[in-house]
Structure 1
Amino acid sequence: MVIKSRGMVAAMAGVAVLAAASAATATAAQSARPVGAAASCGTSIDPNTRIPGGRRHTGPTLRIGGATVKVRYGNAKQGAPYYVWAAVSGASKGDPVALEWDVDYGSWADFGVCSATVHSGGTQNTRAVKYVHGKGWHLEAQACGRHAGHRACTAYWP
């Protein structure tokens, strides 16, 4: 079949270029975390009331000046789902702490940030998100904090 209209050929070429650009954009979005995206904490719990002290564990830890930022994880009882959260100690009033998390199956479609600010006492937890996993994928999380003008993040857990 031969198309005799130049306008039709130009329109078809435009559609092809648009489709290729959309595919490239989708691939880039899957390989890199969106900068400045408005992530939310998602479904979460308060680890102070839901995770008993004896069932809390510490993951990667980082010192920022006199403050310590760490990934914490635990569950309510044996066999119950695990939750993960960020904690800071030795911080100043107003210092932020955040849990940055994502589900690592090749896409940044499932990611979030749970943030909190130290109000007093130098210690603060974020809310906790449920650790999810499946065949070939799992939730990853890191704790980030800012103290004395410096921001840093722990290694990812697990």
Structure 2
Amino acid sequence: MLTRRTTAAAVAATLLIGTPAVAAAATPRTTPDSRTAASTCGRSVNPNTYFRPGMRHAGPSAWIGSTRIQLRYGNRPGGPRYYWATITHASRGDKVTLYWDIDHGESWRDSGACSATVHSGGAQNTRAVKAVHGTGFHLQAKACGHHASRTRCTTSLP
């Protein structure tokens, strides 16, 4: 009798302990690390020099008065898509931020933000962040700007 209880307890413990390991092994990690580009923009590029003008495209815009916040995207021929945010007709000290999330199945995981501050000239862009895609996930990005004590964001692009 003691042997059956011990065996049953051992089997139950093995199932309980083994279940997360089995689940983790059955579901491989395919999403990038959430810390890839938090405040430093991670592995990013300067969109002004990395993409030829014909390879830069305008995405959705948002307005605060005459200040425009825009999500931009581009790629090199045959290369992956990159996203960045721009602000134009802005004032010194205004900020523009690129936010991105990774859509993984039914859950969203915040992946990061990349910001830049207007120092002169009334326009600024963030660095460009490479879009990532894989089995069951993709990156979605939007641009937000802060001007005249107000913040506005664009719609997002997948």
TM-score (norm 2): 0.71
1:153 matched to 2:153:
yes
Conservation of the 8 A alpha-carbon contact between 1:46 and 1:127: yes
Per the TM alignment, residue 107 of structure 1 is displaced from its structure 2 partner at its CA by: 4.1
Per the TM alignment, residue 156 of structure 1 is displaced from its structure 2 partner at its CA by: 0.8
1:63 matched to 2:63:
yes
CA offset digits 1:115-138 (Å, max 9, x no partner): 000111111010110011123321
Distance in structure 2 (CA, Å) of the matches to 1:128 and 1:91 = 20
Distance in structure 1 (CA, Å) of the matches to 2:130 and 2:38 = 16
1:89 matched to 2:88:
yes
Partner of 1:33: none
Partner of 2:102: 103
Conservation of the 8 A alpha-carbon contact between 1:65 and 1:148: no
Per the TM alignment, residue 66 of structure 1 is displaced from its structure 2 partner at its CA by: 1.4
Q: Name the count of aligned residue pairs.
A: 120
1:72 matched to 2:72:
yes
Per the TM alignment, residue 148 of structure 1 is displaced from its structure 2 partner at its CA by: 1.0
Q: Which amino acid aligns with 2:139?
A: L
Per the TM alignment, residue 39 of structure 1 is displaced from its structure 2 partner at its CA by: 3.1
Conservation of the 8 A alpha-carbon contact between 1:84 and 1:129: yes
Distance in structure 2 (CA, Å) of the matches to 1:119 and 1:93 = 5
**RMSD of aligned residue pairs (Cα, Å):** 1.7
Structure 1 residues without counterparts, runs of 5 or longer: 2-37
Q: Which amino acid aligns with 1:144?
A: C
Partner of 1:138: 138
Distance in structure 1 (CA, Å) of the matches to 2:43 and 2:140 = 16
Distance in structure 2 (CA, Å) of the matches to 1:124 and 1:98 = 10
Distance in structure 2 (CA, Å) of the matches to 1:113 and 1:120 = 22
CA offset digits 1:9-40 (Å, max 9, x no partner): xxxxxxxxxxxxxxxxxxxxxxxxxxxxx932
Distance in structure 2 (CA, Å) of the matches to 1:53 and 1:149 = 32
Q: Which runs of 4+ in 1 moved over 2 A?
A: 38-42
